[in-house]
Structure formats: structure tokens, C-alpha cells
Structure 1
Amino acid sequence: MTIQAADLQKKGVVELTIAMVLSGTIGVFVFESGAQPFTVAFWRCVFGAVALGLYCWIRGFLSDTRFTRKTFLLALLGGVFLVYNWAFLFSAYSKTSISLATVVYHTQPFYVVLLGALVFKEKLTAVKLGWIAVAFVGVVLVTDITSVTISGNYLLGIGQALLAALLYAFATIIAKQLKGIRPHVIALTQVSAGVFLLLPFVDFSGTATIGTGWAWLVGIGVIHTCVMYILLYSSYQKLPTSLIAVLSFIYPAVAIVVDMSVYGTRIHPLQIVGIVLICGASLANSLGTSQRAGRVVSAGKSA
């Protein structure tokens, strides 16, 4: 690795680390806003669209979006999955906790694997299936079904976190078909569509009384949508997939620490085991996928 490449990678590590730390704090912004989950997702789209629109305009990205009719429609479809994924994840926070919803949500890489096998006929190996099984054992343990305090509302929250992960996986699969289009423009298109997609579910009467909650809503749109996405996309261009996979686990780690520090959430021993299984299986799957991709690239270069 050259000195220039090493410097770029270091910059990418810093950018992705900051992005993951920001991701881990979004639950606090959702709670402190005082708004309903779908309403929070709506205002995230509104303020995110304004901030991303200004960024894309300043950078000159809007002069040539590179969209075709097909890719534009695909981006809009991805937006459907993306914004409803946010809404269901935010709803899961209030029914379980920021920590547990985030960890269950981190099963999304396995949905991407399963959808890849179904949609693109990608090979589904025994190793991949094994890690998926380990992860879902972890989900069962995180759910803590042996607890006497378990409730239908809590289980609904777990289900919503799993649904959010599935929706995000669909958005990821669609994003793979949008090559050659700046991700910032894709994100702007999707959050703009989200304003209309979420409008029927907005509780405007509730937001009229949230007071300082508006500052938290603006923060979600500007910090967790515009700034965070810019950092993510910039870091992805500088880092190998294996390093991205490792650093992505800063997100659930920060979410757990923040939840325990701010809201005093306590996690039971079995749930800790479940968290380790989910995160460990996801990391092993991500690293294994990136290593195989690397071997394919190396083989192509040698040819």
C-alpha cells in the first residue's frame, strides 16, 4: 500500500467511525423528539431532503443525475423500502429498547444473503446457512422468551425490528442495481419520495406540542441523514469491504452504551449471549463474503 493509499484509508476509517457513532445515537433523537415513530421518519425525510438537496446543488450533482427512466423508478422503489424501514425501526425502539431493537436489526446482512440467492441465484453455502442459523438463535435469546415480563407489545417490537431489517435488505438489493449513479443523488431521491410515502401516517397534531422536540427532528434529518450519509459514502470509496464490515459493529455497540447510559436500560445475561451470537455471526458472514470477493478479484487480475 502506498503512502497516499494509506492516508486515504485512515481518512476512511475516521469517516466511517464517525458515521457509525452517529448511527448509534439516533435512538436518543427519536425518543427525545417526543413524536410518533412514523412522524419522526416523515420529518427525517423532510429535513434530510432539504439538507441533501443543498449539498447536491452546491456540488453540482443535480446538473446531471445520470438517471434513466428505469433506474429512477428503481430508486423510488428502494425509497419505499428505505423509509418504511426507518419507521418500523423507530417503532421497535419504543416497544423493546434502543439496544435490543438495534441488535435485532443487525440481522439485515443475512436477509441480503437470502435475497441474493432468491433474486440473483447467488450460491447459498452451508457456511452461510450456518451463520444465519446462529444469528437467529441469537434473536431468540435476545427476545428473552423465558422472562415473566414478556408482553405481546414487546414481541411486536422484535417483529418490527426484524421487518425493518428485511426492508433494508430489499433497499440494499435494489441499490446494487443503481451503479454509476451518485449515492447522494439516490439518497436525495429516496428521502424526497419518503415525504409523500409517509405523509398519510403523520400525526401533525402531536408535533404541534413537542416544543424543543423540533430540534431533535431537525438533527435526525441533518445529522443522521445528510451528514451521516455523506460520511458513509465517502468512507466506502476508501475502505476494503472487510474493514467496513468490522467498523459497522461500532453502530450497535454505541447504541447499547448510549441506551444504558441515557435511559438506564439493563440487559439480561441470556440477551447478552444473543447479542454476541448475532453480532459474531454477522461479522463472520461479512468477512467471509468480502474475502471470497477479494479472491475473485485477485484471480481476475492474474488472468
Structure 2
Amino acid sequence: MTQPQPGILYIVPTPIGNLGDLSPRAQQVLQQVAAIAAEDTRHSRQLLQQFAIDNEVFALHEHNERERAARVIERLQRGEDLALISDAGTPLISDPGYVLVQQARQAGIKVVALPGPCAITTALSGAGLATDRFTFEGFLPAKPQQRRKTLEALLTEPRTMVFYESPHRIVHALEDLQSVFGAEREMVMARELSKQFETFLHGSIAEVRAQVLADSNQQRGEMVLIIGGAAVQQDTDEVNAQALRTVQLLRQHLPLKKAAACAAEIHGVRKNQLYQLALDADNT
């Protein structure tokens, strides 16, 4: 007896607020699969009903994923196509699904991930902070000591940092962000993305914190915190080499002392030190 062709595991993003963000492709997949694995079946059934999708829905969340993944793989190996969704957004991004996808890959099951709503990319694209390089850190620890320790480890991180935060911890999280990163570090708090009361608060950490403390509405809903990266300090030897090169160029038109003073101002180094470095270079 020939083995059936294995099914496909579809990873399907769902709206983070606006139902119009469930793509036609996502709707088609959810209508056609044999069953849908959902983080919260009650929540997901309400969403699916909005689109007249009445497929089988079963629970797969952080507490049962390891135990249930094997049964899902068995169904896929029997030839059933299945879909994985989370409560909102893209599965596996601070949501369950890693164990299942890992085991599906190991079993040779085809995994198809659909593009779609994700709070990280939505917040970043509207924030106005650097997005060429960023690091996603998920939810900050709930306990104050662990939260501060996590932030302290990121103090010199040069990339833009993205965190998720819950409303009942936002005031304490902002307090710790200001304590660790300083009041002037640039940040954005994106709240209730794609929903009616979506807001982006932009400014220094102190300014955003003041706005949140002054308006209790800003302490409600789902939040994404985006923190500007630390300024990159150039290596001293590299700065000195660049400054010396500038001195040599300026010496074609200026005396050494004047050239060193101008180059020092350009590169932000001490003019006496640069003058001495130039003299030393002449004597080597």
C-alpha cells in the first residue's frame, strides 16, 4: 500500500485589530484546510465566523504544544492540510508554534508561511526610528529586578530595539527604561495598532512617559515599545587616523598648528594632542 502524500502546514497571520487585514489568500487557506490549530479556540472561532469559516478548530498553545505537536504531525503525514493561527498577528512571533514547525520540518512536512499582519513591522514602519537594523526582544520580564537586568544588558545595543508590553506593566516598564537608558533616549510607543484608537507617541523616553502618566487612555490596549539604539563610539585609533589624514590635507594650505586646530574641531579631538601626533608622525 502506497503512503499518502503528506499534507501542508500553513502558517496564517490573522488581524491585529482591523478585520480587513485578513488577506484573500489567508481566507482561502483557512476555508480549504482540514482543521485549524488555534492559540485560543473561543477567540479564533469568533474571528472565523466573521468570514463564514466553519472548519474544525483545535487548541494549540504554549501549555500543550509539545504534547499536541506529535498528533498534528500524524495528521499531516496522513495527507491532511492544516493551518496554524494565533490570537492575533503572525504565529511564532512571541506566540506558540515553534515546536510544531520545527517538528514538521524534521518530518519532511512542507511548511508554507503566509505574509500578513505583524505588530513588529507595523510599528516599525510607522515609528520614524532607524529600521535598517533592529532587534526584537519580545515581552520584557514581569519582575522589576529581571526587567532592569534585561535592559542593562541592552544598554550599548546600537540597533533599534523593539519590545511588546502589556497595559498593566507599561508605567513600570517606562520607569525602568528611563532609569536604564536615560531620559533623553529617543523612543516611540505604538498602541492599539490598526484599531480605532491607534496612537504613536514619539519623543524622548521622559516625554513619552510623561504623556502616558498624564493620560490613562495611553495605559490601555496592546503596546509596542521602540527604543533608539545607543550611539556607536568610534575607536580612538580610527578617529586619530582620520584626524591625522585631515591635518595632512590642511597642511597643504595652513601651518601645522592651524591645521591641527581645524582638524581637531572637525573630528572632536583635543587640538594639542592632535598637534603632537602630527609632530610624531613627521619624526617617524
Higher relative contact order (CA 8 A, sep 6+): 1
Greater helix content: 1
- The two structures have a TM-score, normalised by structure 2, of 0.20
Structure with the larger strand share: 2
Which is higher, the Rg of structure 1 or of structure 2? 2
